[in-house]
Amino acid sequence: MVDKEKQSRGTVWWEEDAAQAFVCIVDQSLLPQQVVTLRLAHEEEVADAITTLKVRGAPAIGVTAAFGMALASLRFLQEGVTLTQAQDHLHRVGAMLCRTRPTAVNLAWAVRRMVRRAMSTFANAQDMAYALRDEALVIAAEDVAACESMGRYGADLIADGDTLLTHCNAGALATAGKGTALAPLYTAHEAGKRIHVFVDETRPVLQGARLTAWELQQAGVPLTLITDSMAAHFMRYGGIKAVFVGADRIAANGDVVNKIGTYGVAVLARAHAIPFYVVAPCSTIDLTLAVGEAIPIEQRNPEEVTMLRGVSIAPAGIQAANPAFDMTPHEYVTAIITEKGIVRPAYQDALHALCATFNDEKQSNVVGRGKTDGNRSS
């Protein structure tokens, strides 16, 4: 564990030397007071980092899971395993990682993609491990590119002088790149547009206060931090022109599951005739689920509600609920901004068409890399 210079872009990356590989993350549980990098050397450490929110954000945990599987494959080589043993081990690692957080589909999507790659034709376990390392790096690079693309599409919806609102953290800390919901804001700011961002604190873990406010401050984007209960007031009196949020999973009909409190913000935006934009990569869209009600909602430790940084803020022994996410019905969503373009109602047909293109491109890329990999050095 080493201190690292503050970063406003990027939160997960791969490091490797002749002796060992590491999954590196910024420990988000310590921000903004400390900026610390963790170098994870075992897949169980990766799983723990996801579970304990040291790394969070749907795209970021997808990339982290892919890196974790690559790490497991390379580490397992030291035990002199056969290809079949290595593939079996990878299935077990994938199942372990998928259990960490059930709502964000990017994690399971990345795991499935890594497993498919592992089941290609390889001469031995070493070839498979190097191919998985390369596949994880491709997933990370794709996320960086997707963030840039979402930023460009979304920035076109922002006018010079706009005041915007965001909920939770969907910036660089939530991705391998510049973010999902914050990417349009960064891109607009970089283009010289004068914007001001209202940042919901996002109880109970305060991702808005701790992470989004820190990110925007690092990037020089003007902001105002507000409590979650202030959103309606500032929608009425604060001149807010649009809301930008991320997503952890989007159902086939356009229903969106995102951080708890998002649904309330969407309802308020509708009441005040404010556009409500969801920004997410195509990997967040889950066409296997027809409606958002079918998306599993993670239930976290109630102590996140009754305690704040180890200090009790509620009566001892009180019952508390702590769903990590809520579902926003598609009728409250003005548009979904992806790396492939902006999708508007009716979402059912539009999302299917979008994902068909996305999946065709991914399949073409895999075929282009070939089903068989020769020996490669690390």
Q: Is there a domain that residue 281 lies in?
A: yes
pLDDT score for 365: 54
Between the two ends of the chain, the Cα-to-Cα distance in Å is 24
- State the pLDDT confidence band at 378, using cuts at 50, 70 and 90: very low
pLDDT score for 374: 41
- Inter-CA distances, 78 with 19, 86, 127, 160, Å: 11, 11, 14, 56
Question: Whole-angstrom Cα distance, residue 338 to residue 63?
Answer: 17
pLDDT score for 324: 97
Total domain count for the chain?
A: 2
Question: Whole-angstrom Cα distance, residue 44 to residue 92?
Answer: 11
- State the pLDDT confidence band at 371, using cuts at 50, 70 and 90: very low
Q: What is the CATH number of the domain that holds 199?
A: 3.40.50.10470
Question: Whole-angstrom Cα distance, residue 10 to residue 26?
Answer: 9
How is residue 1 annotated by DSSP?
-
- Inter-CA distances, 51 with 1, 23, 93, 98, 204, Å: 18, 15, 15, 10, 16
Residues 92 and 162 in one domain: no
Residue 7 scores a pLDDT above 60: no
pTM of the model: 0.90
Residues 280 and 227 in one domain: yes
Q: Is there a domain that residue 32 lies in?
A: yes
Q: Which residue has the tokens 């409606």?
A: 291
Residues 28 and 117 in one domain: yes
Is 162 annotated in the active site?
Answer: no
- State the pLDDT confidence band at 76, using cuts at 50, 70 and 90: confident
Query: What pairs with residue 284 in β-bridges?
Result: none
User: How confident is the model over 131-151, as a mean pLDDT?
Assistant: 97
Residues 278 and 351 in one domain: yes
User: How confident is the model over 148-175, as a mean pLDDT?
Assistant: 98
Q: Is there a domain that residue 371 lies in?
A: no
Q: Where are any strands of DSSP class E within 311-367?
A: 311-312, 325-328, 335-338, 341-343
pLDDT score for 364: 53
Residues 292 and 266 in one domain: yes
Residues 240 and 267 in one domain: yes
pLDDT score for 363: 55
How is residue 13 annotated by DSSP?
E
For residue range 211-235, list pLDDT tens digits in order. Answer: 999 999 999 999 999 999 999 999 9
Residue 377 scores a pLDDT above 60: no
Residues 302 and 196 in one domain: yes
Q: Is there a domain that residue 263 lies in?
A: yes
Q: What is the CATH number of the domain that holds 137?
A: 1.20.120.420
Residue 259 scores a pLDDT above 50: yes
The tokens of 185 are what? 């804001």
- Inter-CA distances, 70 with 104, 186, 221, Å: 20, 31, 36
Question: Whole-angstrom Cα distance, residue 279 to residue 177?
Answer: 14
Residue 207 scores a pLDDT above 50: yes
For residue range 277-316, list pLDDT tens digits in order. Answer: 999 999 999 999 999 999 999 999 999 999 998 899 999 9
pLDDT score for 362: 58
Query: What pairs with residue 24 in β-bridges?
Result: 13, 39
Is there a contact between 175 and 11 (Cβ–Cβ < 8 Å)?
A: yes
* Residues of the domain holding 113: 2-147
pLDDT score for 9: 39
pLDDT score for 199: 98
pLDDT score for 361: 64
Last residue of a domain, one of 102, 131, 147: 147
Last residue of a domain, one of 96, 122, 147: 147
* Active-site position among 27, 200, 228, 248: 248
> Percent of the chain, pLDDT > 70?
92
Q: Is there a domain that residue 205 lies in?
A: yes
- Inter-CA distances, 127 with 23, 71, 112, 314, Å: 20, 14, 19, 54
Last residue of a domain, one of 147, 169, 190: 147
Q: Is there a domain that residue 101 lies in?
A: yes
Average pLDDT, the chain: 92
Residues 94 and 228 in one domain: no
Question: Whole-angstrom Cα distance, residue 166 to residue 169?
Answer: 8
Q: DSSP string spanning 61-99? A: HHHHHHHHHHHHHHHHGGGT--HHHHHHHHHHHHHHHHT
Residues 120 and 155 in one domain: no
The tokens of 105 are what? 């589909």
Residue 3 scores a pLDDT above 60: no
Question: Whole-angstrom Cα distance, residue 249 to residue 258?
Answer: 7
Residues 158 and 292 in one domain: yes
pLDDT score for 1: 28
Q: Is there a domain that residue 373 lies in?
A: no
Question: Whole-angstrom Cα distance, residue 331 to residue 346?
Answer: 9
Residues 260 and 135 in one domain: no
pLDDT score for 2: 30
**What is the number of other CB atoms lying within 10 angstroms of the CB of residue 229?**
12
Residues 134 and 218 in one domain: no
Q: Is there a domain that residue 375 lies in?
A: no
